[in-house]
């Protein structure tokens, strides 16, 4: 979710959690607007200028090296035990930033063993 070209929230899962895509999208939009800890909840007055981008996960494949990801066109899922984070395509310009940011978002300390996955998505954008 963004407002005036700035990100205002992100929420979702790598696996289906609802009976259909419409319900999953609705739940994720509400989560992005109200539950992303990085941003204050979206206010009613912001809604007319907010836009929604939906990333439909097509696949996530284990990889051996961060160099196997094109951060502009592919996302990254990183996990260590029960901790994990996803960065969508285009959120990073370099693989180093993509890896460091995903590690930070997940709360995974430096030096911890991690698993890496390349994420392919189909992006849908709202146009106003």
How far is it, in rounded angstroms, from Cα 82 to Cα 58? 22
Q: Could you list the residue range(s) of the whole structural domain that residue 13 is in?
A: 2-51
The DSSP letter of residue 94 is S
Torsion on CA atoms 69, 13, 27, 105, rounded to nearest 10: -70
**Alpha carbon separation from 70 to 1, 7, 35, 81, 89 (Å, rounded):** 23, 21, 29, 25, 8
Domain count, the chain: 2
- Domain holding 106: CATH number? 3.30.1490.150
113 occurs within a structural domain: yes
Could you report the per-residue pLDDT of 117-127, keeping only the tens digit for each? 999 999 887 76
Could you report the per-residue pLDDT of 74-87, keeping only the tens digit for each? 999 999 999 999 99
How far is it, in rounded angstroms, from Cα 98 to Cα 70? 10
Regarding whether 95 and 66 lie in a shared domain, the answer is yes
- Beta carbons of 75 and 109 less than 8 angstroms apart: no
How far is it, in rounded angstroms, from Cα 73 to Cα 50? 24
pLDDT at 94: 94
128 occurs within a structural domain: no
Regarding whether 66 and 43 lie in a shared domain, the answer is no
127 occurs within a structural domain: no
Per-residue confidence band for 1, with pLDDT thresholds at 50, 70 and 90: low
Which of 88-112 are b and which e, b meaning 16 or more Cβ less than 10 Å from the residue's Cβ? bbebbeebeebbebbbebbebeeee
Angle 14-36-88 from CA coordinates, rounded to 5°: 40
pTM for this predicted structure: 0.82
């Amino acid at each position: 979710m963004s407002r005036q070209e700035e990100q205002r929230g992100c929420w979702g899962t790598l696996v289906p959690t609802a009976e259909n895509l419409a319900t999953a999208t609705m739940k994720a939009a509400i989560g992005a607007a109200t539950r992303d800890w990085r941003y204050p909840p979206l206010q009613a007055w912001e809604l007319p200028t907010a836009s929604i981008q939906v990333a439909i996960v097509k696949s996530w494949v284990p990889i051996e090296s961060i160099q196997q990801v094109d951060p502009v066109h592919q996302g990254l899922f990183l996990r260590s035990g029960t901790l994990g984070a996803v960065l969508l395509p285009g959120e990073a310009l370099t693989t180093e930033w993509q890896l460091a940011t995903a590690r930070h978002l997940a709360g995974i300390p430096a030096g911890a063993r991690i698993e890496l996955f390349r994420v392919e998505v189909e992006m849908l954008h709202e146009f106003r």
